[in-house]
Amino acid sequence: MATGKMALTIWLGLTSALWALHPLFLTQARGIQLLAILTGLLAVWGWLGGSAVLMFWSALTGLLNATLALLLSAHPPNLWAGLSAGLLLFALLDGHQRWVYVRHCELEPGMFIRMLEPFIRVSTLAIVVGFAMGMLLIALDALPLQATHVGTLTIVGAALFAGVFTLFILHTNRLSSD
């Protein structure tokens, strides 16, 4: 049990640090550094205090920081950079949720491995979906379209994605409450 708790602590500490430092791999501007520190502080505070809201704020700040870093550095589009940040974010949020349980419950032997399984499953799925998305973007880039059309297509696609996903979530919620 103590080993499991220690392993989860190391895991959370590592993901918090990596998540906060991720934008600094792209650029080391002063503003990005400050935001990275803020992200890290919020993550550690939320993790130690068991607060999901603080973890959300850390995730939000980190996401904004990463986007700003991408825009500032004019880094070429990179699917894997986004995916690695995404996996880190998921590991941080999911690990925090599990940490809250581990803090209040007595952990049975062999539980730690079982707790890692969902993370591995979702990570694999995210990589597959990300790869499919990348392929789709490459295919779209190959099409002879004007820049304005691409922009419009992106906004329409994003809106469609959000709409469909919202409908899906609402629909499954209704089903599960039956």
> In angstroms, what is the minimal distance from the CB of 57 to another protein?
10
In whole angstroms, what is the distance from residue 45 CA to residue 16 CA?
10
Name the packing angle between helices 2-21 and 111-142 (round to 10°). 20
CB of 99 to another protein, least distance (A): 11
Asked if 140 touches another protein (CB under 8 A), the answer is: no
CB of 45 or CB of 119, closer to another protein: 119
- One residue of 14, 29, 41, 79 binding another protein per CB under 8 A: 79
Any contact of residue 121 with another protein (CB under 8 A)? Answer: yes
Selected from 40, 47, 87, 95, the binder of another protein by CB under 8 A is 87
**Is 22 exposed, middle or buried, given 0-12, 13-18 or 19+ CB atoms closer than 10 A?**
buried
Q: Which of 118, 135, 145, 149 binds another protein (CB under 8 A)?
A: 118
Q: Which stretch binds another protein (CB under 8 A): 9-17, 33-41, 103-111?
A: 103-111
- Enter the DSSP assignment of 22: G
177 binds another protein (CB under 8 A): yes
27 contact partners, CB below 8 Å, separation of at least 6: 69, 72, 73
Each residue 7-46 as x (binds another protein by CB under 8 A) or -, in order, gives ----------------------------------------
| Part in contact with another protein (CB under 8 A); list of ranges 10-18, 30-38, 110-118 | 110-118
Alpha-carbon torsion, ordered 15, 16, 22, 24, to 10 deg:
-140
Contact 172, 166 (CB under 8 A): no
* Distance in Å, CB of 172 to another protein, minimum: 4
User: Are 92 and 15 within 8 A, CB to CB?
Assistant: yes
